[in-house]
Chains A and B, each alone.
Chain A
Amino acid sequence: MTTTPSTPANQPPAHGALARPPQQAPGLIQGLRSLVATPLNALLTVLALAIAWFLLRPAIEFLFIDAVWSGHDRAACLAGEAGGETGACWPYIARRLGYFIYGQYPEAQRWRPNAAMALCALNIGWALWPRAPFRGAALFSFVLPFPVIAWILLYGPGFSGLVAVPSNLWGGVLVTLVISIVGIVVSLPLGVLLALGRRSQMPVVCAASTVFIEVMRGVPLLAVLFMANRMLPLFLPPGVLPDPLVRVMVGVSLFAAAGMAEVIRGGLQALPKGQYEAAAALGLGYWQMMFTVILPQALTLVIPGIVNTFISLFKDTTLVTVVGIFDLLTTIDVSSRDPAWATPVTASTGYAFAAIFYFICCYAMSRYSAAMERRLAAAGSRS
């Protein structure tokens, strides 16, 4: 079953891994000179400019120059004076922003998702900021207390005194975030267990982990989601019916756990053997050795990999739209069918908005991951 060759090398290279340009930022003059240094270079410069012009010009025209910036309904975004199509229809986004962020979450209760998102941002900031104190505690709080508090805030179960908001009213960015954060919170510990299992000396444990990991990595997420969303209830006893949102979370988490396991396994393999031997020499038991010596080092080594897994998880949540969960992309799709706003550019505007949202989030995360990688490399070269 172990068909993948040396796995760390098999990972896609980290986002921005070694992403530094070949030389550290050359001066402006020097940079300009490099553009025309040789005939070949001059030709390449012209070529690059031409490609950029052909690709960027329509995008800029659509997003800014031809865009409509104010209006109350579709009339504003229908064909302009010249009869041609207009660019992006921004008033539609402005009018629907609340729906895109919260879905049908009751307006009076929207402070709750806001509070949950703020808590989440604080917690992640604490865990990821390299100089913050007690970062281990931050990680722990993100995996245990935070999800519970967030769930109480968002769902409002009976004992909390909050108005219950069932999950079929959640939508938009809120659902995108909930699915990806649950995905990471579940897949991290599960990934650790699976990675340890795959490296285990016990044949049954190793085989079980390997089969799970390879099966999950061998099938498309879409098939896993179909399975989780529609088939899961078939595998449960009659009458046991998890919430649809929970079902896709199960699918996404299991899928992400397999990827996470491989990242962590890379970290475990990268640790020098001496670490294991030293821990054994101290007489530590297996779990003591893992938790006090091996895992802290291995996990630190693969922080960039973990962030990258999260980035792909975050991007992959868009697939839930295919199984009918109201994530950001679905809310955009549904709103574009509103007769009040239906124009030839409504759908494109929605997609542009989603693209910008995803790009900002993912790019920020990939920059962080690259920075961490540089820190790790620097720390490695010092020692």
Chain B
Amino acid sequence: MKAGKPVRTYGQGRGPAIAWWGNPAARALIWQALLAIAVISLFVWAGRNVVTNLRASHITWGFGFLAEPASFDITGSLIPFRAGDSYGRALMAGFGNTLTASLTAIVIATALGFVVGVARLSNNALVARSASAYVEVLRNTPLLLQLLVWYNVVLKALPGPRQSIALPGGLLLNNRGLYGPWPVESPGWNAVGAGLLTALGLCIGLAAWSARRRREGKAALTLWAIAPAVLICLPLAAAWLTAGSLVGALPVTWPELRGFNVGGGVTLLPEFVALVLGLSLYTSAFIAEIVRSGVQAVPKGQREAGRALGLGEGPILRLIVIPQALRLIIPPLTGQYLNLTKNSSLAVAIGYPDLVSIGAGPVLQNTGQALEVISLIMLIYLGLSLLTALLMNWWNARMALAER
């Protein structure tokens, strides 16, 4: 339809004037206006239906329920929750659990994924084949199924509380969870916390300072040697200064068998273990593929050049291959982290109290505010996704700049 247009534009003013609908800009405007009207009217229409439907079933819309007290309990949440706390806090507790499980799984999945990804490139045929079998099996079965299997396996493989397996370091393991010692709130521990934060700040500051020195070509600190010492000594010194001695200042509760179950200390629920295990194994298979293709994408010539410079295999990997591969690896890695976080909602199938299972479970059930609860859950996940994407974009931009 546009075939003759250039000619006609040339002849504008004389002959048959071009009709307004022949003008691409005008047409674009009209189509956009139509689309906008369609989308807006779709929303208005749906909104009116919601109002009618809610009125018909005598439900009042609103988020007031978030402040009302709930009358159920939640076990094993990072943010403690007891009956009598508000529904809003219940959602917070669920969200805290979602974050805990996702972050833990992200760390494990990344470590596993890098190991398996490198193993796939091994020149040891057995190692390479095992790694690729690992990837294929985990990637080609549904995550939900894997979670159910892991949960069953975890419950079945572990003994009851009376036959707990004692692990080194005061850890106890049974089918109610993994129990470990935990600090009791005291001035000494508070000092340790404060010391740790200060030490972290100090390390970051030092890192920035030495990075600048290095760019300017001056002598700089080797942070790897200093950081651990600072991170350990500073908190301990703080505790010692506050309490006068180290032994009594840092009280700890140890897990022990009390009545039915192990009490005291800190517990990792089997649901948590199964969820983290399932999520990290599944995601590690995808990360392994990302790592492998990232490393393979670094041109052979780069390694050869390194060798020609007389570098050993270790420095070649550390200084040449990995920095280049990382730039390719990081963007898809972000996608996997986001997928993992979204997939953590499958916790609902194995009884781990995450955001979705608390929200769509007791909160929705006892308030009847289905629309509000589900929208809230979606908004929270959306916010999380956007935040991660922003952070990773920032990181990505930095990496890309370092290239030149």
Contacts and interface: CB of A to CB of B under 8 A. Distances in A.
Contacts of A220: 342-343, 345, 356, 381
Contacts of B122: 44
Interface string B1-39: 111000000000000000000000000100111011001
Contacts of A231: 370-371, 374
A204 B31 CA distance: 9
A190 to B, nearest CB: 15
A316 B142 CA distance: 7
A132 interface: no
Contacts of A237: 49, 52
A329 B3 contact: no
A374 to B, nearest CB: 14
Contacts of B140: 311, 315, 358-359, 362-363, 366
B293 A13 contact: yes
Contacts of B204: none
A234 B54 contact: yes
Contacts of B392: 5
Contacts of A34: 123-125
A285 B24 CA distance: 11
Contact of B332 (A13, A35, A321): A13
Contacts of B384: 218
B336 interface: yes
Contacts of A322: 144, 346, 348-349
Contact of B123 (A4, A22, A227): A22
A12 to B, nearest CB: 6
B125 A11 contact: no
A87 to B, nearest CB: 13
Interface string B116-160: 000001111111101010001101111111001100100000000
Given A12-B339, A13-B289, A285-B2, 13 more contacts: A9-B331, A10-B334, A13-B293, A21-B128, A34-B123, A34-B125, A214-B386, A219-B385, A223-B377, A234-B49, A237-B52, A319-B144, A322-B348
22 contacts: A10-B331, A11-B335, A13-B332, A22-B123, A31-B125, A34-B124, A201-B28, A202-B32, A205-B35, A218-B385, A222-B345, A223-B381, A234-B49, A234-B370, A318-B142, A347-B152, A354-B145, A358-B140, A359-B141, A362-B140, A362-B141, A366-B139
Interface of A: 3-6, 9-13, 15, 17-19, 21-23, 26, 31-32, 34-35, 37, 41, 44-45, 48-49, 51-52, 201-205, 208, 214-215, 217-223, 226-227, 230-231, 233-238, 283, 285, 311, 315-316, 318-319, 321-322, 329, 347-348, 351, 354-355, 358-359, 362-363, 366
